[in-house]
Structure 1
Amino acid sequence: MKTIATFGLFILVASMVLGGATSNVYAQDDSTILLKLAKRAQNQVQNQISSESPDKIKRLFEEGVQNVNSLEKAIRNNDVDSAKKHFLTAMKIFTQISRQSTESDVPTKESTSEVAAKTASDSARSTVKDPSNDIQRLQVYVNSLKTIAKKYNVSIDFSELDELFRLSKQQIKDNQFTLALDTLQKIKEIIVEINKEIRDEASKQESQRAKEYAQKYLEQLDRLIENAKNQGVSDEIIKKLENARENLSSANNPNDIIKEIREILSIKKQFELTKNDRLESRVLQVEKTMSRLSQMDGVDQDDLANAKDTLQSIKRHLYDGEFDTANELLRDLAKQLQEIKNSL
């Protein structure tokens, strides 16, 4: 049975039940966090129980489940006192099941070796160092995760972590360093899960941004290819550009997109086709500005529509190789966008 992996959670909760800090913890508790902890304990204990488990353990588990259900009902009814009672009862039962499951793997009759082991455990507990510094470092790290999650607009519930941090500080205050270390381990496990969630979401967003940039770059490349044809550039160079365009359009991940764009830049530099790059960069910057303005309140939509028409005209002039005209229109458009900003 998988009792070792879950025993840390029951030690954590036992500290709330037996450690003399119950009232202090509950003063800050959010009942929904208690329900999360109770249900997590229920699921972990359920994984330990099999058809071969003693009937006594099965009955205890059912009693624990009933208390979890009563806890949930009490929370819905805003009955804080009953919620506390059912939470503590459920966790006592789950802790008891975990301990009994552990003891079922060895003879239950207390022996000299068991007494010696208990003595050694007590001795080790008294030498455990204060984990305050580790807790503080993790708190700083979690604060940075909250900032990153906000940056990428990732919806993550940090309330369970916040509750565990409060519990660990209470345990340290009560000199329960061993229990604080168990809480610390639980905090680390949750941080790993949150870290992965943020990385996955950030990766998705970066991939999407890379694809959007590639699409805009393809528009630039179409204009470059047309200009190259109008300037009488050799068919060999045109073919290289067209192949590069095909490769870029089929690229999916950010690394491949960057690789293909670098290849295109190399071709442009090699065959002196960078004449209009500065103008194309300004076009991209103008598009970003217009995108931001379109999301802001108070912007005159007619003014924005006129700016978009001007931008399309600039792109047509670049497509036709009329760089001077495009440059003049870009200057006018920049002034137009500045006036829109100033009007907000």
Structure 2
Amino acid sequence: MKTLALFTIFVLVFGTLSTSLVSDAYAQNDPNILLRIAEQADKQIKNQLDRSYGDSVPSNIEDLYEKAHTAVESLENSLPDDVEQAREDFLTAMKLFQQISRMVSTYTTETKVSTSDVSDRDLKSELNRLHKYFQSLKSVSEKQKTGIELSEIQRLFILANEQIIADDTQGAIQTINEIKSLIISIKEHIRDYSSNSASDRVKEFILKQLERIQKVLDRADSETADLEKANSLIEEIEILISEDKISDAKKKFGELNKIVKIIKKSIR
């Protein structure tokens, strides 16, 4: 491919190549200029990624950049001996840089549109909705005595309201997002607490029933296979409860009840 055509690709992609550089390269037809352009493109794309994503570059874009950067390194190694390979490396790098540039531009545009849409929302209405939901969670938390600390989210509600009044849209959006995150944490805490409370009630019930069943077994006159099995099950259930394996303990408890019914008939 002619040198000018390669430069044209670069100009179309980045629009930053100086006219004098193109003229000089075209006049000299110097393949080494490809390396200078590729390194410039590499640097520009890296800066673009830093500005757009900071330390959170998406993995798919990061992979493309690594491939492009590798192509630039290959280009450097190909010169000056293998001009054809150098031009191929150059084209590979340019195509990848072009793809990255388009992806970043799309991301930037979508971010701006998203920010504009968010700015037009009725933030006050959203805040009121979140506060209403929070009040219901707070009521459940207090009723179950979960001990969840709620002062931070209450502070954020006050802050968000002040930001809305002050027309600090971006600040309000950020605070509302923090509130949403805390609400999710509170919900999970309540759910875990409720689950543990229910588990504790099941444990208490089974242990009381085991005491009652043990008294029945103690009344048995002779050692039988059923009695031996029942005593073995009681030991298993107690171990399962101590290991917090409530589901397994309930299954064993069901087996125990069936055997106890048989033993009761023999006692009578």
TM-score by length of 1: 0.38
Rg: which structure is higher? 2
